[in-house]
Amino acid sequence: MSGFDRVLEDIRAGRPVLVYDFDDRERETDMTVASQFVTPEVLRRMRHDAGGLVCTTTPGRLAEEIGLPFMSDVFWDDVERYPLLRAMAPTDIPYDRTKSSFGITINHRDTYTGITDDDRALTITQYAETIFMDAPMEDIRREMGERFRAPGHVHLLNTTDRILVDRRGHTELCTALMYMAGVKPSATICEMMGDDGGAMPRDRVEEYAASEGLSFVTGTEILERWEAFRAGNGEGL
């Protein structure tokens, strides 16, 4: 089994994998798990071993169909009432020429505060179950309204329309991995932070991966496999 095939197998088994983007982008690694397999234990590990912001991805076209906006669009639509939002538009992200991938934040309605590991695991797994329901879109929208409230403690991220074509961030890299693994294409991700105030360097991440028996994969490797996957599964992805 190749190293990349092991990554996909680990995803199918609900194990975390470590995804480094690119030397000329963020130069960061995210701990990644398929959203459908997130547990309180997974979130505890992300808090302790990664330490960044826990976020959950949504394929961009699906988010648009459901009606889950980019947060920057929500802000922009309200600039007449709140002019400061116009001045704060994310037009100067140093590593990216597209707008922020941040969407809205949510809690499942059965949570209490929403921030505990138990609460966030419930929100994330129920979110993945709901958005990928085999049902008409109007039913999915209704279930979203009945099951979730916003704002909440789980940060949603929307991919760009064409995954890894218009943007090559962790939102897209990790969602692409979910597609290739054949699981529900939503990833829950958390940046690996260092002890020096910055991101954990790649070599330290690789040491951690080796010591913990976790798979490590780069954005370049994902891009190579993604092109072949898209060619074989329709370039609408």
**Residue 84 is assigned to a structural domain of this protein:** yes
127 noted as active-site residue: no
Tell me what pLDDT residue 45 has: 98
For the chain, what is the total number of helices (H) and then of strands (E)? 10, 7
Tell me what pLDDT residue 234 has: 67
Structure tokens belonging to residue 210: 């080796």
107 noted as active-site residue: yes
From 10, 26, 28, 55, the catalytic residue = 55
**Residue 26 is assigned to a structural domain of this protein:** yes
The mean of the pLDDT values for the chain is: 93
Count of the separate structural domains present in the chain: 1
- What is the residue range of 27's domain? 3-232
CA of 85: how far to CAs of 88, 89, 223, in Å?
A: 5, 6, 35
Q: What is the CATH number of the domain that holds 208?
A: 3.90.870.10
Q: Amino acid identity of 100?
A: S
From 10, 30, 119, 172, the catalytic residue = 30
From 23, 82, 95, 235, the catalytic residue = 95
174 noted as active-site residue: no
Per-residue pLDDT tens over the stretch 181-191: 999 999 999 99
From 49, 64, 153, 206, the catalytic residue = 153
Q: Environment class of residue 109 by beta-carbon count within 10 Å: exposed (0-12), middle (13-18) or buried (19+)?
A: middle
**Residue 237 is assigned to a structural domain of this protein:** no
**Residue 145 is assigned to a structural domain of this protein:** yes
234 dihedral zone (left: phi>0; alpha: psi -120 to 50; beta): left
**Residue 8 is assigned to a structural domain of this protein:** yes
55 noted as active-site residue: yes
- Rounded CA gap, 15 and 213, in Å? 10
Per-residue pLDDT tens over the stretch 37-56: 999 999 999 999 999 999 99
Q: Which of 108, 130, 15, 12 is nearest to 62 (CA)?
A: 130
Confidence tier at 98 by pLDDT (50, 70, 90): low
- Rounded CA gap, 32 and 169, in Å? 13
CB 209 within 8 Å of CB 6: no
From 10, 21, 119, 191, the catalytic residue = 191
From 20, 21, 26, 107, the catalytic residue = 107
What is the pTM (predicted TM-score) of this model? 0.94
179 noted as active-site residue: no
**Residue 23 is assigned to a structural domain of this protein:** yes
**Residue 11 is assigned to a structural domain of this protein:** yes
**Mean pLDDT across 117-139:** 98
CB 156 within 8 Å of CB 56: yes
